[in-house]
Structure 1
Amino acid sequence: MLAGFDIIFLTLSTAEFIIGMLGNVLIGLVNCSEWVKNRKISLADLILTCLAISRITQLLVSLFESFMMGLNPPFYSIYKLAKPVTLLWRITNHLTIWFTTCLSIFYLLKIAQFSHSLFLWLRRRMNRVILAILVFSLLFLLFDFLLLEAWNDFFLNIHAMDESNLTLFMNESKTFYIKSLILLSFSYIVPIALSMTSLLLLFLSLIKHIRNLQLNSMGSRDFSTQAHKRAIKMVVSFLFLFTVHFFSIQLSNWLLFLFWNKKNTKFIMLTVYVFPSGHSLILILGNSRLRQTALKVLWHLKSSLKKENQFHLYR
């Protein structure tokens, strides 16, 4: 029978999963329908579609892990199940982060205004630049695969041990655990650095653009200024939510290592849903086409509920 903590944990996990799925499915359906309708798709919509697909998969894997932690079945410690689940979560998390990073770089190359020859060269080859970044990210994914082999063996040994030997094993494995945690975190450095650079350059471009408008005695609310501000908001939201995502992963890893038998430590993992769920909603609000579609869906649902209530009222 499930304990009270487990019921609350599974309920919150399911709620966050539903919110994230609604946002990402909307992004995927809108962009795919436009792709089929126009028989072409822009680079930004392609990145958003790939990002939505990777996040849908990530949310499914996260929900599966949540139920495995909440229900705590004996078969979860079996290597054939634990290994592919961990590997699939790492793949989806990796793709999600790098697709979002590519979106930040796209905003920079599309909106920023610099006369430097290198920037102009990168802008002319935007599609190739994004593709090269994704190919480059596969090197980090390969590195993760190799490290996860040892990582999975470590946690499987924890599951297999009895409580009398667990403390001794933990003490002897602290060095390995710390090194592995640092190495697994290393793959986050490059996408964060690229996104931070994009944010800084977008901000500098905005300042330069506003100064040029002021020198020419023009208003500061032109299309380019608004595009700069929207792009900055998108990148800032990504960096903020990713920071929460990153520290929640690190904290949950440490808590599960230090307090393996404490069931309430699993609640820190609820914050893992914040990044794939919350960022999709911000992307919808920042995209006029997605925002209008979401409002139409909400209006349709509201009208349907209103008609249903009237039907039951006069029945």
Structure 2
Amino acid sequence: MLTGLDQMYMILVIAVCITGMLGNVFIGLVNCSDWVKNQKTTFINFILLCLAASRVSSVMVIFIDATILELAPHFYYSYTLAKCSDIVWVITDQLSTWLATCLSIFYLFKIAHFSHPLFLWLKWRLRGVLVVFLVFSLFLLIFYFLLVEILPIWGDIYVIPTSNLTLFSDTINTLAFQKIIVFDVMYLVPFLVSQASLLLLSFSLVKHSQNLVPTSTTSEDSRTKIHKKAIKMLVSFLVLFIIHIFCMQGARWFAFLFPLNRSNRFVFLTLNIFPLTHSFILILGNSKLRQTVMSVLQHLKR
């Protein structure tokens, strides 16, 4: 029978899952309907669609894990189930992170203005740049799984045999350190790319503002607004990204250091902050999605 704390936890799980699904499903439905309506889609809309799908999958994995750990924790005594769950979550979370980073690259090359030949060459081949970036992320993901299979660092997150608690206690620090270091390297490239995009956009805005003083026009003023809007989007993404990394670190360390503590389940719920919050930021920052939300809300009020 569920205690009061267990019931509170399940209510939080359901609320977080519904909220996380709501924004991402909305983004997916809007882009799918446009695709069907126009019989074609832009590359950036396709990225948004894939991003929404990956985040829906990530939220579902966390929801299923949380539900099983609460209602039937004995299922996780199977090493295969725990490992498969971890693999699926890593894949969906990595896809979400790299696709969101693609949006940062898109904002940079579509909004920033530099006369450097390399920047112009990359800007003219933006679709190819994004494809190469995603292919690189795929190879990096494959390399990660090969590495954790070759090295004995998978570490049983959920499966803690009671007869082996002494051995587990002796090796846990080494396993945790090895796995978390390898895992964090996966997020280093998208973080640095997003940070570089933010810095270059800021530099482009400063350069544009300096040129704006002697020749102020309406078009230039609108470009300044676009720069600032994109910078706000990137800053929001980076802040949420950093929070997400800290949440992952906390969740993994808690799982390693306090494997039998049921309070860990509340820590794992923080992994939904990134896919939940960033989806609503994307909706507010995208004029088409924002207008669709407003029209839906107005329709519901009638």
After TM superposition, is the score higher than 0.5?
yes
TM range, smaller chain: over 0.9
Q: Aligned AA for 2:286?
A: N
The alignment covers a number of residue pairs equal to 301
Q: Aligned AA for 2:133?
A: I
- Which deviates further from its counterpart, 177-186 or 100-109? 177-186
Tell me the CA shift for residue 287 of structure 1: 0.7
Tell me the CA shift for residue 152 of structure 1: 8.0
- What is the DSSP-based 3-state SS (H/G/I as helix, E as strand, rest coil) of the residue aligned with 1:56? helix
Listed as ranges, the matches of 1:160-309 within 5 Å are 160-162=160-162, 165-218=164-217, 222-303=221-302
Q: Distance in 2 between matches of 1:227 and 1:43?
A: 20
Question: Would you say the 8 A contact 1:55–1:276 is kept in 2?
Answer: yes
- What is the DSSP-based 3-state SS (H/G/I as helix, E as strand, rest coil) of the residue aligned with 2:40? coil
Tell me the CA shift for residue 219 of structure 1: 6.3
Identity across matched positions, percent: 49
Q: Distance in 1 between matches of 2:66 and 2:244?
A: 16
Aligned pair 1:134/2:134, yes or no?
Answer: yes
Question: Would you say the 8 A contact 2:62–2:269 is kept in 1?
Answer: no
Encode CA deviations 1:151-182: one digit per residue, 9 max, x unaligned: 785317x62521x5313322233213211111
Question: Would you say the 8 A contact 1:7–1:70 is kept in 2?
Answer: no
Question: Would you say the 8 A contact 1:210–1:220 is kept in 2?
Answer: no
Question: Would you say the 8 A contact 2:176–2:253 is kept in 1?
Answer: no
Aligned to 2:31: 31
Tell me the CA shift for residue 131 of structure 1: 0.2
Encode CA deviations 1:134-155: one digit per residue, 9 max, x unaligned: 0011122112222454678531
- What is the DSSP-based 3-state SS (H/G/I as helix, E as strand, rest coil) of the residue aligned with 2:213? helix
Q: Aligned AA for 1:199?
A: L
Q: Aligned AA for 1:81?
A: L
Q: Aligned AA for 2:273?
A: V
Cα gap change, 1:120/1:260 in structure 2, threshold over 3 Å: closer, same or farther?
A: same
Q: Which runs of 5+ in 2 are unaligned?
A: none
Q: Distance in 2 between matches of 1:73 and 1:175?
A: 26
Over aligned residue pairs, what C-alpha RMSD do you find?
Answer: 1.9
Cα gap change, 1:153/1:274 in structure 2, threshold over 3 Å: closer, same or farther?
A: closer
Cα gap change, 1:174/1:262 in structure 2, threshold over 3 Å: closer, same or farther?
A: same
Aligned to 1:3: 3
Q: Distance in 1 between matches of 2:265 and 2:219?
A: 48
Question: Would you say the 8 A contact 1:5–1:264 is kept in 2?
Answer: no
- Which deviates further from its counterpart, 83-92 or 217-226? 217-226
Using the size of structure 2 for normalisation, the TM-score is 0.94
Q: Which runs of 5+ in 1 are unaligned?
A: 304-315
Q: Aligned AA for 2:155?
A: F
Q: Distance in 2 between matches of 1:165 and 1:179?
A: 20
- What is the DSSP-based 3-state SS (H/G/I as helix, E as strand, rest coil) of the residue aligned with 1:260? coil
Question: Would you say the 8 A contact 1:57–1:92 is kept in 2?
Answer: yes
> Which protein has the larger Cα radius of gyration, Structure 1 or Structure 2?
1
